[in-house]
Amino acid sequence: MAELEYTIKDFKSENEVRWCPGCGDYAIMNAIQRTMAGLGVPKENFAVISGIGCSSRFPYYMNTFGFHTIHGRASAVASGVKMANPSLNVWVVTGDGDALAIGGNHFIHTVRRNMDLNIVLFNNRIYGLTKGQYSPTSERGFISKTSPFGTIEDPFQPGQLVIGSRGTFFARGIDSNVKLGETIFKAAAKHKGTSVIEVFQNCVIYNMGVYSDITDPKFRADRQLILEQGKPMLFGADHEKGIVMENGRLKVATIGENGVAVDDILIHDAFETDPALHLALINMSLPEFPVALGVIRSVSAPVYDEEMEKQITHIQKSRKNTCVDDLLNSGNTWEISGN
């Protein structure tokens, strides 16, 4: 098995990476390459499929099988790859415009089917490649080239779409936190079914600092809740704050205040099938709450490509037709002996 001991270098292609200097995509790619190197999967079994957008140039920078497809359709193409060969480890690289605007339909249906894909959604809340138009994840009022007076629509929360599509895996990361990224990508890769990983990604050119109110070192400890399986939902510089449930709603509490003890803090369980609490965590936003990061949901359910294989195997056990000749001669046929 020595040959499967890869390093990150094995996953870098010879192509020059052409994202803007300082773009969050570099760090995300780094985390994904590290993850792939450590999975013990033969390199030729990875397929990286992307749509259109800055992030979708990703496959060209990977030394794996890669396919840069068309706008919005990456998850549909990737579904075909996976069904054709379920033994592959298939990754979809997409952005907020690609996955949630033009590709919204494919995104929700792929999640609903629970096709075994890892969908990495680079969310920079802007169209970068077309130079700065608002996206379906831009906040209401966002000013951009196509919304000079501010948008008049509310954004999608990718996590809500995943829950609404009966998703089995949802995680959230931040481009700059490579360590968290690796943890999440590894969990996503091991999950059977559609794993959606939303990565908050800074666009240095068109949406600089879009996540700085979360990532700024000055207050990030208070504004990020990094979820860990089986552990209390604590945050703050000294883990002095936590999330509690009060009257059916989440609430931030400080330990030691109002009689709140560590034991009162909710314990994170990504494996819980009931999505209610997962949705509540996804919905947490500033300033009332910290933003939830890490693996929020990871539950098991039948996987489409496996079910497809199973069904074929099952039907073939009792089949009458074993080849096309059998099929053509099945049912009503008659002989003409010639006149």
Partner 1 sequence: MKDARVIEMDEVAIRFSGDSGDGMQLTGTLFSDASALYGNDISTFPDYPSEIRAPQGTVGGVSGFQVQFGKKEVTTPGDFAHVLVAMNPAAVKANARFMNPGGTIVYDSDSFTEKNLKKAGFKTDDPFKECNLEDFTIIAVPVTSLTQEGLKGFGLDNKSILRSKNMFSLGLVCWMFSRPLDYIEEFIHNKFARKPVIVDANIKALHDGYNYGMNLQHLTPTYIVHSADIEKGTYRNINGNQATAWGLLAAAEKSGLELFLGSYPITPATDILIALSERKDLGVKTFQAEDEIAGISSAIGAAFAGDLAVTTTSGPGLALKSEAIGLAVMAELPLVIVNVQRGGPSTGLPTKTEQSDLLQALYGRNGESPVVVLAAGTPSDCFYYAFMAAKIALERMVPVILLTDGFLGNGSEPWRIPEMKEMPSILPRFAKDANSFQAYNRDPNSLAREWAVPGMKGFEHRIGGLEKNITGNVSHDPENHQVNTRIREEKVQKVKDLIPELELFGDIEGDVLVVGWGGTYGHLISAAGELRKEGKRVSHAHFFYIKPLPGNSAGIFQRFKKIVVCELNQGQFASYLRDKIPGFKYYQINKMKGLPFTVNEIVDGVKKLMEE
90: closest CA among 76, 72, 70, 107?
76
Cβ atoms < 10 Å from Cβ of 210:
22
Contact call for residue 328 and partner 1 (CB under 8 A) = yes
Is 47 a binder of partner 1 (CB under 8 A)? Answer: yes
User: Cβ 83 to partner 1, closest distance in Å?
Assistant: 6
Binds partner 1 by CB under 8 A, chosen from 8, 20, 39, 63: 63
Residue 141 found at the interface with partner 1 (CB under 8 A) = no
1 lines the binding site for partner 1 (CB under 8 A) = no
Q: At 212, which amino acid appears?
A: S
- Considering Cα of 99, then 157, then 90, then 53, what sign does the dihedral take? positive
Applying the rule CB under 8 A, the residues between 10 and 29 that interact with partner 1 are 13, 15
165 binds partner 1 (CB under 8 A): no
The CA-based angle 286-96-22, given to 5 degrees, is: 80
Distance separating alpha carbons of residues 96 and 137, to the nearest angstrom: 7
Task: State yes or no: residue 43 binds partner 1 (CB under 8 A).
Answer: yes
* Minimum distance, C-beta of residue 130 to partner 1, in the bound complex (Å): 15
The C-alpha atoms of residue 90 and residue 244 are separated, in whole angstroms, by 38
Q: How far is CA 56 from CA 10, 173, 249, 304, in A?
A: 20, 18, 38, 25
Of the residues 160, 229, 285, 311, which one makes contact with partner 1 according to CB under 8 A: 311
- Per CB under 8 A, 161 contacts partner 1: no
Q: Residue 197 pairs with which residues in a beta bridge?
A: 120, 171
Q: Does position 319 bind partner 1 by CB under 8 A?
A: yes
Q: Quote the tokens at residue 304.
A: 């489409």
Interface characters, 265-304, with partner 1 (x: CB under 8 A): ----------------------------------------
Residue in 8, 39, 83, 252 binding partner 1, rule: CB under 8 A: 83
3-state secondary structure of 125: coil
Binding site for partner 1 (CB under 8 A): 13, 15, 42-47, 49, 52, 59-60, 62-70, 73, 76-85, 87-88, 105-106, 109, 308, 311-312, 315-316, 319-325, 327-329, 331-339
